[in-house]
Amino acid sequence: MHDNEAATVKHEAHNPALLHHFSDTQQQKNAASLGMWLFLVTEIMFFGGMFCAYLIYRLKYFNAFAAGSQQLSITLGAANTAVLIISSVTVVLAVKAAEAGKRKLLVSYLVVTVLLGMTFLTIKGFEYREKFERHHVPGPTFQFTEPFNDNGTIIPLQPDEVPHAQLFFALYFVMTGMHALHMVIGCGLFSVLIVLAWRGHYSPGYYTPIENAGLYWHLVDIIWIYLFPLLYLISRHS
Amino acid sequence: MSDKTEHTTHSQLFYIAIGVGLLIGTITTVGAAFVNLGPFNPIIALLIASIKAVVVVLFFMHVKGSSEKLTGAVVVSGVFFFAILVSLSLADYLTRSWQ
């Protein structure tokens, strides 16, 4: 009975979010962050395989990759890069708001982040639609007979190079598709966090889910930072 | 038992300035793609992308100033193993001269 009371007092003395196997909240935060980083490294290896495949085929079939790349819209790609960078800023400001315990500010930044994520996906959707309309989707209906670049000039591509252009579009769809899937997951994650943050689940002493979801979002941003020049900007100069 | 957590975040203005810097980096990438630099075009593009990635990792993901020093080792190991993947694969594919 006496022991129980002592335990109760001890339990109330510290932050309720602090788990007993950690000595303080800082250690608990560091452990969660380190675990998240280990997951992010597996994500780097996951996308790394695709980047490696891209690199090998780009070196081998450069002409076809350049012709394929020039079918993509730089305007939409650059706009999406800007949208993602701005969303990364709103995420980091959300983490800052959580650290300061500003609940409404935190929720607002998270809502803006999800909206920016959806803006990215909408723009990506329009790009995909254009690719379907022009039969640039790999498969039996793939056509690459009269490719043209932004200036309207036809790029000379030998008939036997057309399958290599198809390979470029296969990599384009797989890489941007996997990236878009990560965006969808990120938007879902933040949508849950918005509800929890609104209900007051997070305090300056505990906002680890916000921080870790932020780390994930930034990694997805970094992957796009590499995808944009690699896919959209091959041999654009005249 | 201390219940204090360090403050790793910077000011709001700092984050917005970093964001503006990243946007300028994007504009530079697009601009550089239209200048003929020969073999240096993809190198410049990847260099700018890598600078942007490092800025995001250090300041947005708070690796700089983190009290958990292992995080840096994890980040470096991720890049290191990716480098092994790429370099060993290319060492194979780029030396198949008989094909």
Return the residue of B nearest to A210 by Cα: B61
B61 and B85: one domain?
A: no
Kindly determine whether residue A78 and residue B12, on different chains, have CB atoms separated by under 8 Å: no
B52, B89: one domain: no
Domain assignment present for B1: no
Q: Is B5 on the interface with A (CB under 8 A)?
A: yes
Q: Phi and psi of A50, rounded to 5°?
A: -70, -40
Range of the domain at B94: 66-99
Q: Are residues B53 and B14 in the same domain?
A: yes
Q: Give the three-class secondary structure for A143.
A: coil
* Same domain flag for B56 and B15: yes
Residue A149: predicted pLDDT:
58
**Are residue B36 and residue B81 in the same domain, yes or no?**
no
- DSSP for A178-221 reads HHHHHHHHHHHHHHHHHHHHHTT--BTTB-HHHHHHHHHHHHHH
Domains in chain A, start-ordered, CATH in brackets?
A: 37-232 (1.20.120.80)
Same domain, B45 and B73: no
Domain presence at residue B26:
yes
Q: How many helices (H) and strands (E) does chain B have?
A: 3, 0
**What is the full per-residue pLDDT of chain A (238 aa) written as tens digits?**
455 555 555 555 667 778 888 888 888 888 999 999 999 999 999 999 999 999 999 999 998 999 899 899 999 999 999 999 999 999 999 999 999 999 999 999 999 999 999 999 999 999 999 999 999 999 999 988 765 655 555 567 888 888 999 999 999 999 999 999 999 999 999 999 999 999 999 998 889 999 999 999 999 999 999 999 999 999 888 7
Q: Spell out the residues 6+ positions from residue A72 whose beta carbon is closer than 8 angstroms to its own.
A: A127, A172, A231, A232
> Do B3 and A25 make contact, defined as CB atoms within 8 angstroms?
yes
B82 touches A at CB < 8 Å? yes
Is B2 within a domain? Answer: no
- Quote ipTM for the complex: 0.91
Supply φ then ψ for residue A72, to 5 degrees.
Answer: -90, 155
Quick one: closest CA in B to A51, which residue?
B86
Report the domain count for chain B: 2
Interchain proximity B67–A26, CB inside 8 Å: yes
Tokens for B37, please give them.
Answer: 């630099």
Q: Pick A231 or B97 by higher pLDDT.
A: A231
Q: Is B3 a domain residue?
A: no
